[in-house]
Amino acid sequence: MEITNIKAKVNQYKSILSNTKTYRNKWGEIHDLITNTLEAIIKESELNAFVEVKDDIENLELITLSLGSEISGIAEKFPGNKTKRPFIKNNGALVFQQLFNGKIMTMIMYPYIEGYGQPKPPKTLEIVRPEELTEGFLIRYVEEFLKDIIEWEDFDDDLPEKMGMNPIGFSSKLITEDK
């Protein structure tokens, strides 16, 4: 029986399972690198943010650089009285998610205002092995996060496609008849 290809795949499978254990064992030191670097960035840059750790599920932990939430300044007025219901704005977050296989996914969660449209889908920046994640990578991720958040906050109708929007008439080509 010729099962050379199956044996190669079995060896690859065993190697991947071994890597998962190795990556999970490295999470402790990576966790500290991420939280310490993010907290140092917050302190040195005076960014109004906080680091949040969610470790309810072992080996699927999450570290977030959050810009928090606040009253958006938009409010729904109730008819017949002066009562208003403010809309809450979530200001966005940079997320470091430990995946099922021990690798780390970095995502940007965009700001959104509850009750006003649909949130923009998260943007995956990268999935890396724990040994690939360095302070330099973390700084680069925070820079990209802030660039995207600034772009979201400074939205104007000159660049609707950057917000994931395509209002009627924008990016449409005129159809002309050749005479």
pLDDT per residue over 30-73, tens digit each? 999 999 999 999 999 999 999 999 999 999 999 999 999 988 88
Q: In the β-sheet with 104-109, what is the strand arrangement from edge to edge?
A: 50-54, 62-66, 93-98, 104-109, 123-128
Provide the token pair at 56: 């309810």
Cα distance between residue 95 and residue 118, in whole Å: 20
Whether residue 63 contacts residue 50, with contact meaning beta carbons closer than 8 Å, is answered with: no
pLDDT per residue over 61-108, tens digit each? 999 999 999 888 888 888 877 788 888 999 999 999 999 999 999 999
Range with the poorest average pLDDT among 25-29, 89-93, 157-161: 157-161
| DSSP calls for 22-38 | HHHHHHHHHHHHHHHHH
Strand partners, 86: 75
Strand intervals (E) in 110-168: 112-113, 123-128
Percentage with pLDDT > 70 across the chain:
87
Provide the token pair at 136: 């330099």
- Kindly report the backbone phi and psi dihedral angles of residue 65, in degrees, each rounded to the nearest multiple of 5, phi listed first: -95, 105
Q: What is the pTM of this model?
A: 0.80
Provide the token pair at 91: 């200001």
More confident residue, 13 or 118: 13
Provide the token pair at 164: 């994931």
Half-sphere exposure of residue 111: CA atoms within 13 angstroms, side-chain side:
23
Cα distance between residue 177 and residue 33, in whole Å: 62
**Nearest in space to 102 (alpha carbons), one of 138, 59, 132:** 59
pLDDT for 78: 84
SS3 33: helix
Q: What is the mean pLDDT of the chain?
A: 87
pLDDT per residue over 131-152, tens digit each? 999 999 999 999 999 999 999 9
pLDDT per residue over 115-134, tens digit each? 887 888 999 999 999 999 99
